[in-house]
Chains A and B, each alone.
Chain A
């Protein structure tokens, strides 16, 4: 009862704020302070969303498929690379700076290069998302692996635990909450880069639909698509948070804050 009350009190101020913004926005458009073909009204966006719901869903499914493929691929390769670097220190010392360096190449620049190399199919798009996602996960996991509790580690070594046992029973669970921080960042990145990837060959997906709508001067539709992209990003973030809660149950649960 108490926690429900607290949840409510944390929800209503931002909800009210959002409502206020929508009302002001609606009024600005309605009283023609800006042209409605430049900025659509929120109600117009809502209507457009309902009208083209089936087409939006069709594209949403394509984007979702691409995002999930890339995200899971990125997560797996990020974790695998972190393990490799963790187990073989010499590789870690060689790779780590290169890894950091590689992150200074913007996604927008990698995308056309991948298309040039691999064509317009699914593969270069998935690969782009994988490239974007694996980094935060890998770095977060390495950070977690570097902060192992000294006395626990000492205990494991004293009773004769080998490297693999120590990894499975001590290091991996101890780094898990770091891995999840990485996964949360990667979740938002993955939606973003899926949209960027779809701009390149606007056949299917929300990114493509958005580009085509903007070329056709349909601002309502562009905004409706953007709204859907934001919601997708939130959905993925929420899914990762849910997974984290299922995986990490050994800590006292914090009250909703």
Chain B
């Protein structure tokens, strides 16, 4: 469904050319959960901006569902690192807005938002303004907003990076349970090996300066996955493997 073909990108700052991405080939199949993991500054955010059509690529193409969408906007649902809820809209309207921008009517968007908030047990927050929500709660709303958007591909950009460890674990479980019932194609960027293993079907390990695909690791665990997964031997072997790959890049 998503296919990146030989994507490269470099930026020029102060007359110096910095290569950020070199020949990235990557695919996400229908209903597949793929994670990208790599050292800090390995250009993952840049890659997302290219897929979102915010930046032009130097070489390569981006294909989505058999269409060349290189440089086009509006094809993806997005969950950023900061929840990025508009402070002047209620939770319900924030979710509805994402649907409206994707072309839904205002009324049906709000109805759908309300239904889903009820379904995942957040109905009581429906009319609250974002400043009243905790960090974890904001991210739940942000995830729901991306999940409800009609676009087929979801990009999650370090969605739990700013949360404390315990909230983070809760959030992963919550996201997993909802996603397993509502399969969508997902591309996730994360710094956490545990998180990548817990959530995804496949993990793409990136190098940095410039970013290249080092290896793809498939994650064979059955779904639905439970919270005890991390204590199994297989989980820890994969973790060691990925850790080793990242270590070889010279940055943990």
Chain A interface residue count, Cβ-Cβ cutoff 8 angstroms: 21
B interface secondary structure, majority: loop
Pairwise interchain contact B78-A159, C-beta atoms closer than 8 A: yes
Contact of A155 with B87 at beta-carbon distance under 8 Å, contacts A160-B102, A251-B131 already known: no
Contact of A251 with B87 at beta-carbon distance under 8 Å, contacts A158-B76, A159-B74, A159-B149 already known: yes
The contact string, 1 if C-beta is below 8 Å from chain A, for chain B 63-96, is: 0000000000111111011101011110000000
Most central of B86, B131, B149 by chain A CB within 10 Å: B86
CB of B178 within 8 Å of the partner chain: no
Chain A residues closer than 8 Å to B97, beta-carbon distance: 169
Chain B interface residue count, Cβ-Cβ cutoff 8 angstroms: 29
Give complex CA distance A252, B129 in Å: 9
Pairwise interchain contact A165-B101, C-beta atoms closer than 8 A: yes
Pairwise interchain contact A250-B101, C-beta atoms closer than 8 A: no
Give complex CA distance A252, B84 in Å: 18
CB of B52 within 8 Å of the partner chain: yes
CB of A84 within 8 Å of the partner chain: no
Pairwise interchain contact A161-B101, C-beta atoms closer than 8 A: yes
Give complex CA distance A158, B72 in Å: 10
Q: How far is the CB of A154 from chain B (nearest CB, A)?
A: 7
Chain B residues closer than 8 Å to A252, beta-carbon distance: 131
CB of B133 within 8 Å of the partner chain: no
Chain A residues closer than 8 Å to B101, beta-carbon distance: 156, 159-161, 165, 169
CB of B245 within 8 Å of the partner chain: no
Chain B residues closer than 8 Å to A170, beta-carbon distance: 86
Give complex CA distance A104, B99 in Å: 48
CB of A62 within 8 Å of the partner chain: no
Contact of A151 with B84 at beta-carbon distance under 8 Å, contacts A159-B74, A159-B102 already known: yes
CB of B98 within 8 Å of the partner chain: yes
Contact of A169 with B86 at beta-carbon distance under 8 Å, contacts A158-B54, A159-B101, A252-B131 already known: yes
Identity of the chain A residue whose Cβ is nearest the Cβ of B97 in the assembled complex? A169
List chain A positions with a Cβ less than 8 A from chain B.
Answer: 151-152, 154-161, 165, 169-170, 173-174, 176, 248-252
